[in-house]
Amino acid sequence: MKTVLSILFTILVIFSAAAQNYPSRSNILWVTEPDHSDWLYALDEEAEVAISLYEFGIPVDNVEVHYAVGPEMLDPDTEGSITLKNGKGRVSMGTSSEPGFRDCWLTVKLHGQTYKHHVKVGFEPEKLTPYTSFPDDFEAFWDKAKEEATSTPMEVEKVFVPEYSNGLVDCYLVKLQAYKKGQQVYGYLTIPKKEGKFPVVFAPPGAGIKPMDPMKHYFYAESGVIRFDMEIHGIRPDLDAKTYKEISRSFGHGNNSYLVNGLDDRDSYYMKKVYLSCVRALDFLISLPKWDGKNLIAQGGSQGGALALITAGLDDRITACAANHPALSDMAGYKAGRAGGYPHLFKYYEGMNTPEKLKTLEYYDVVNFAKLIDVPVFMTWGYNDNVCPPTTSYIVYNALDTEKEAYITPINEHWVSEKTRRVILDWIKAHLK
Active site residue ranges = 302, 385, 414
Separation CA 333–CA 74 (nearest Å): 12
Strand residues in 111-143 grouped as ranges (E): 113-123
> Quick check: 311 and 298 in contact, CB under 8 A?
yes
* Strands 320-324 and 377-381, bridge-based pairing: parallel
Residue 25 CB neighbour total at 10 angstroms: 7
> Quick check: 320 and 377 in contact, CB under 8 A?
yes
3-state helix, strand, coil in the chain (%, to 5): 25, 30, 45
Bond before 76 cis per omega within 30 degrees: no
Torsions phi, psi for 272 (to 5 deg): -65, -45
Q: For helices 270-285 and 303-314, give the axis angle rounded to 10 degrees.
A: 70
Separation CA 329–CA 132 (nearest Å): 9
For the chain, the C-alpha Rg in angstroms (whole number) is 22
